[in-house]
Structure 1
Amino acid sequence: MCGIVAAIGDIDVSSCRNMLHRIAHRGPDDTGEVRKHNVWLGHQRLSIMDVEGGHQPMTHAPTGTYLVVNGEIYNHRHIRQDLGHALFETGSDSEAALHALVIDGPAGLARLRGMFALAFATEDGDFLAARDSLGVKPLYWARRDGVTLFASELRAFDPADRPLVETFPPGHCWSPEGGLVRFADAVPAHVRPARRAAEPEWDSSLVKAVREAIVSSVEHRMMSDVGVGVFLSGGLDSAIVAAVAAEYAARQDQPLPTFAVGSEGSSDLLAARHVAEYLQAKHHNIEHHEIPMSRQDAVEALPRAVRAIEHFDPSLVRSAVPNLLLAEYASQHVHAVLTGEGADELFAGYPYYHQEPFTSPEALQAELVRTVRELHHLNLQRCDRASMAFGLEAREPFLDRDVVEFVLSIPPEYKMVRPGVPEKQLLREAFDGWLPNEILHRGKEQFGDGAGAKELLEDAVRDLPEVAAADGVELRNREEAGYYAIWKRELDGIRPSATLGLFATT
């Protein structure tokens, strides 16, 4: 996990370096840059794989090519086998992306399984930028006369360029010659149509397949040379991730740090403690950490959270405050953490999925697909920024490409609530016996609410100034108007309609 900046065209090297400096928090371990003709690449590194040999920009001297990557390529070992180990000079997963592009050109992006935003260049000045299909890793760009700029965060851009900044679309690549081209879809066409289930109940083979897909994804995301922890909210999704990770770590004879945050007596803190104690009794490798959150902690973290997530949506801000405190503490112990992001969007965990107008299988399927495709505007933005504010990599096993395609191909009837069948029942059955029953059957509670942030922030919201919205953004309530005031102060010049896609689509 890192931060990248790239430019092609009429380059101002000093400006590019300033952009990179503004996102130094994303990669505190190393920095690097390269200029070739009209291309400049910059990289801030968080060292996780091949700590000694993974410096970027990565280069392949025989072909005169250069690469900067923000993310992780989880299938890098398979790519090494396919392309030949003799090509590789480091143990970095990013080198797999370099050689895939050298050998296959833009088509090599199809080889990559993982989360990434990258920029690739040659000695002759050829250039390619790309972002993973779900947009797990952020990428923004600004196009003006003579130059095109790319960066991992909005704040990287110079104030003069901020009105031009747009979200680089997930699953796309761009080159000066070919323009913007889609190379992958977050939800491929063959999994989009709702399929009518012949029977209202699923069989054991589907339960087993769900479990195996998630276990495999978690195990792939344990890849690290510096250790991995788990953000444990005590909810079903993060508890499942922790249970699988604990079993995997025990087989490797490794400890598993888990991290929970909340106000005193909050439901998340108590539930996470229960999960940690259960897994410790089972595997004897859990190192559980609790981060208490007082009202003062929450109020002081509020402007930092808005600035970090580059967003003002109330549900995201309420979640970001405890997320930021959690990441700040966890970054002192590990370089990477697993999270439960994405499970609700795949298995219909939110209450609104089971209300009108989504009560038919077809409507539910369409809404699940829509929200998966919009994750990069919402929870993934919050998760990435809150963790990377402290140079901490967040990994989301539920958003593995194979998991997404498989779970969205399951008949939507199996995700619908009916008498005796709560939300996410299929997921609960898949991990029966892996967790305490109280956790396995715990109802849905938003992260910020379960951690107590909503209550702690109520007074702070009343004290925030209100400002008028701009660019056609409708501020939906007093709370959002207060957060927008912070957002506008911290990201002056950014157009909300260009960067906060949910407001343009809802």
Structure 2
Amino acid sequence: MLSRIKHRGPDDTGEIHRGRVWLGHQRLSIMDVDGGAQPMSDPGGTTHLVANGEIYNHRNIREDLGHELFETGSDSEAALHALIVDGPAGLARLRGMFTLAFMTDDGQFLVARDAVGVKPLYWARKPEVTLFASELRAFDEADRPLVESFPPGCCWSPESGLVRFADAVPAVLRPAHRLPSDTEPGVWGDDLLKSVRETIVAAVENRMMSDVGIGVFLSGGLDSAIVAAVAAEYALRHRQPLPTFAIGAPGSSDLAAARVVADHLGTEHHEIVMTAEDAMTALPKAVRAIEHFDPSLVRSAVPNLLLAEYASKRVHAVLTGEGADELFAGYDYYHQEPFTNPDALQAELVRTVNELHHLNLQRCDRTTMAFGMEARVPFLDRDVIGLALSIPPEHKMIGPGREAKKLLRDAFDGWLPEEILRRGKEQFGDGSGAKDVLEQAVLAAPEVAEAEGVELRSKEEAAFYAIWRSELNGIRPGSTLGLFATT
């Protein structure tokens, strides 16, 4: 199983076996490159942890628990000691994106996944053993019919079973916060703009931590441009370079817009011009990598994969703009019936945030980790989610003089060129040109005679499903993939 996901952590392999528990880890070295090997153990060598992801508040945890406990500079060690000190309650200390497995020599075992599900985790429960892995491909073909997505915000132990320890969206935010009757939709004060801006800035800066190179995927859209602008300010203060990476077909709108942003910010900008041949060659690799066949995901995965392959030779981690559309109502369909009702819009925003781990986050993680590079998503920071979904949905609705995501645009007024700040929404697969260059692949694709109970909505989806099925034989689509929920 471990060898099948070596691409996720090409820098080192580690494993440990105690009693009935086996832990294995493929390491991508980002924090404490020399001292952060995994599995990680306490000084007495009786407690052990493997983790995937980043604990962004690890320095605060060190202060709280005492520096004398720590032997490395790895952020993962903060998770180890939080669990040693507090048991499963220690998961509440962790701020970041992570999956982890923790065990002790006396037989305790715990596995957990972050509340949003930024980092992937799957499990297969058999009578004699429970298996966990970061990707579907890790499981033996005989076990694949049993594989399920491990739910975000949950932990599991043999004694307690599955227990929820955190929610992506706190219950108090799920109903809409009503706009006061004397307040006009789309009219907000400086305090709200400042709060939005400062919360996003803090989230981006927290994700700049790295002992190796870090960059930004810059599509030229509003969301990634904001991330790049904040990251560029941080990099300037810390006297470090900021590489930005953009991809598109010749003459694509994404390449042109990203170039404007990069020139404005003064980043070390890299462009990849994607030909039709490049896209066709990358298509089966993209379907295999994302372990999904949804057309909108595949269209965006093709340029994402090519971009990741290029960027991974230069940095070990990148920041992306994932999640902003779901928090600030950026997609066109949010502004159509039945979501023109504030309560319905809030419910849909909450639903799509909760489903991201099946969809865009799956694509984001797999395309980057296919080349041993980590993607970080500042818009899905816990504080950003909490603030964004506490804002009355009327402020996110379009209307006369109010384009989509106007609140987000106004919060970063002056940070970006006006043409970027007011640029309309374009799906990554469309703006990059991937949708057009993939059409010939769809037209040439063979018909799928049988789809094992899956309703294929188009010939395009059938073509991608054929590739998916050949790569992941035995997986039940409905049990592991958030299908039919994309927009």
Instruction: Give the TM-score of the pair, scaled to structure 1.
Output: 0.94
The answer to whether the 8 A contact 1:471-1:497 is kept is no
- The alpha-carbon deviation at position 146 of structure 1 amounts to 0.5
Structure 2 CA distance for aligned equivalents of residues 205 and 152 of structure 1: 41
Distance in structure 2 (CA, Å) of the matches to 1:438 and 1:504: 32
What's the CA shift string for 1:404-433, capped at 9, x where partnerless? 011101111110101100000000000000
Question: How far did residue 145 of structure 1 move?
Answer: 1.6
Deviations 1:247-288 (A, max 9, x none): 0000001110000000110000000001000111xxxxx110
Match of 1:368 in 2: 349
Q: Percent identity?
A: 76
User: 1:263: which partner in 2?
Assistant: 249
**Distance (whole Å) between structure 2 residues aligned to residue 256 and residue 292 of structure 1:** 20
Partner in structure 2 of residue 485 of structure 1: 466
1:442-468 per-position Cα deviation (integer Å, ceiling 9, x unaligned)? 000000100000000000111112224
Residue 218 (structure 2) pairs with residue 232 (structure 1): yes
Aligned twin of 2:189? 203
Residue number among 37, 59, 70 corresponding to 1:77 in the alignment:
59
- Tell me if structure 2 keeps the 8 A contact 1:374–1:502: no
Q: Confirm whether residue 462 of structure 1 aligns to residue 448 of structure 2.
A: no
In structure 1, what is the equivalent of residue 339 of structure 2? 358
Calculate the aligned-residue CA RMSD, in Å. 1.1
Q: Distance in 1 between matches of 2:58 and 2:354?
A: 25
202, 227, 245: which one pairs with 2:231? Answer: 245
Q: Is the contact made by 1:475 and 1:481 (CA closer than 8 Å) also made in structure 2?
A: yes
Residue 150 (structure 1) shift: 0.1
Superposition pairs for residues 333-348 of structure 1, below 5 Å?
333-348=314-329
Determine helix, strand or coil for the equivalent of 1:501.
Answer: coil
Q: By how many angstroms is 1:502 displaced?
A: 3.2
Pick one of 240, 254, 261 that aligns with 1:275: 261
Cα pair 2:110 2:157 within 8 Å, conserved: yes
What amino acid is the match of 1:213? T
Structure 1 residue 334 displacement after superposition:
0.1
- What's the offset of the Cα at 1:176? 0.4
Which residue in the other structure is 1:99 paired with? 81
* CA deviation vs aligned residue, 1:158-187 (integer Å, no higher than 9, x gap): 011011100000000000000001111110
Partner-residue secondary structure (3-state), 1:332: coil
Conserved? CA contact 1:472–1:497, under 8 Å: no
Residue deviations 1:33-78, cap 9 Å, x none?
Answer: 0000000000000000000000000001436110000000000000
Q: How many pairs are equivalent?
A: 483
Tell me which amino acid in the other structure corresponds to 1:355.
Q
Q: What is the correspondence of 1:144-223 to structure 2 with a 5 Å cutoff?
A: 144-198=126-180, 199-200=183-184, 201-223=187-209
Preserved contact between residue 43 and residue 56 of structure 1 (Cα < 8 Å): yes
Q: Deviation at 1:469?
A: 4.9
Deviations 1:68-105 (A, max 9, x none): 00000000000000000000000000000000000111
1:332 to 313, 318, 330: 313
1-structure distance, mates of 2:85, 2:365? 31
Q: Letter of the 1:422 partner, please give it.
A: E
2:287 pairs with 1:306: yes
Looking at structure 2, the residues matched to 208 and 416 of structure 1 have their Cα atoms a distance apart, in angstroms, of: 20
Report if the CA contact (8 A) 1:473-1:503 is conserved. no
Q: Is the 8 A contact 2:284 2:467 kept in 1?
A: yes
Equivalent-residue separation in structure 1 for 2:145 and 2:188 (angstroms): 51
* Distance in 1, Cα, partners of 2:159 & 2:451: 35
Structure 1 outlier segments of 4+, above 2 Å: 468-472, 501-506
Q: Does 1:450 align with 2:431?
A: yes
Q: Which residue of 1 aligns with 2:41?
A: 59
Q: How much does 1:505 deviate?
A: 11
Q: Distance in 2 between matches of 1:260 and 1:503?
A: 29
Q: Is the deviation greater in 198-207 or in 173-182?
A: 198-207
Q: State the alpha-carbon separation in 1 of the partners of residues 486 and 269 from structure 2.
A: 40
Instruction: Look up the match of 1:47.
Output: 29
Does the CA-based 8 Å contact 2:213-2:314 persist in structure 1? no
Matched, 1:402 2:394: no
SS in 1 for 2:132: strand
Tell me the CA shift for residue 192 of structure 1: 1.3
* Structure 2: unaligned runs, 5 residues or longer: none
The alpha carbon displacement at 1:399 in A equals 0.3
Question: Aligned residue for 2:273?
Answer: 292
Q: Deviations over 1:358-381 (max 9, x none)?
A: 001100000000000000000000
Amino acid at match of 2:295: P
SS in 1 for 2:413: coil
**Cα deviations by residue, 1:284-328 (Å, 9 ceiling, x for unpaired):** xx1100011000000000000000000000000000000000000
Q: Paired residue for 2:100? A: 118
Q: Secondary structure at the match of 2:208?
A: coil
Say yes or no: does 1:349 pair with 2:330.
yes
- The answer as to whether partners of 2:294 and 2:461 remain within 8 angstroms in 1 is yes
Please state whether the residue corresponding to 1:99 is helix, strand or coil: helix
Amino acid in the other structure paired with 1:440: L
* Counterpart contact for 1:497–1:504, Cα < 8 Å: no
Give the counterpart letter for 1:364 in structure 2: L
Question: Matched residues in 1 for 2:449 and 2:404: separation?
Answer: 39
Task: Name the SS of the counterpart of 1:149 in structure 2.
Answer: strand
1:424-435 map, 5 Å: 424-435=405-416
Matching residue's letter, 1:239: A
Residue identity in the other structure for 1:340: G
* 2: CA distance, partners of 1:502 / 1:405: 26
Amino acid at match of 1:216: A
TM-score by length of 2: 0.98
Distance in 2, Cα, partners of 1:225 & 1:364: 41
| Residue number in structure 2 paired with 1:142 | 124
Which secondary structure does the structure 2 equivalent of 1:291 belong to?
A: strand
Q: CA deviation at 1:501?
A: 2.5
